[in-house]
Amino acid sequence: MGKAGPGSVGLTRILRYTDTSTAFKSVAVEYSVSSDRPVTWS
């Protein structure tokens, strides 16, 4: 990350779990959700 000027920082939260409430043999879920925040690199 080298250029001065406008940019952003971000975070991604990762949730992982299993769901045993369905008729499938097994269910595993991974959910990735992000936020961004505009910044100015100096």
Partner 1 sequence: MRQLVRSLGLVALGAAFVTAACSNPVSPTDTSPGALDVRIAVLDIYPNQNDLAVVMQFLSGGKVVKFASGETVTCDNVALSFNGLTSGYAGRVPQLAPGGKFQFVYTRSGTQTTVEVTAPARPAILTPASNANVPRTTSLTITYTPAGGAALRGSARDATSSEGSQGEQRTTASTRVWTSPWARPGPGRSA
Binding site for partner 1 (CB under 8 A): 1-16, 19, 22-42
CB of residue 17 vs partner 1: minimum separation in angstroms?
8
Q: Give 16's contacts (C-beta < 8 A, 6+ positions apart).
A: 28, 29, 30, 31
User: How many beta carbons lie within 10 A of that of residue 7, not counting itself?
Assistant: 13
CB of residue 4 vs partner 1: minimum separation in angstroms?
7
CB of residue 32 vs partner 1: minimum separation in angstroms?
5
Question: Any idea what DSSP says for residue 20?
Answer: -
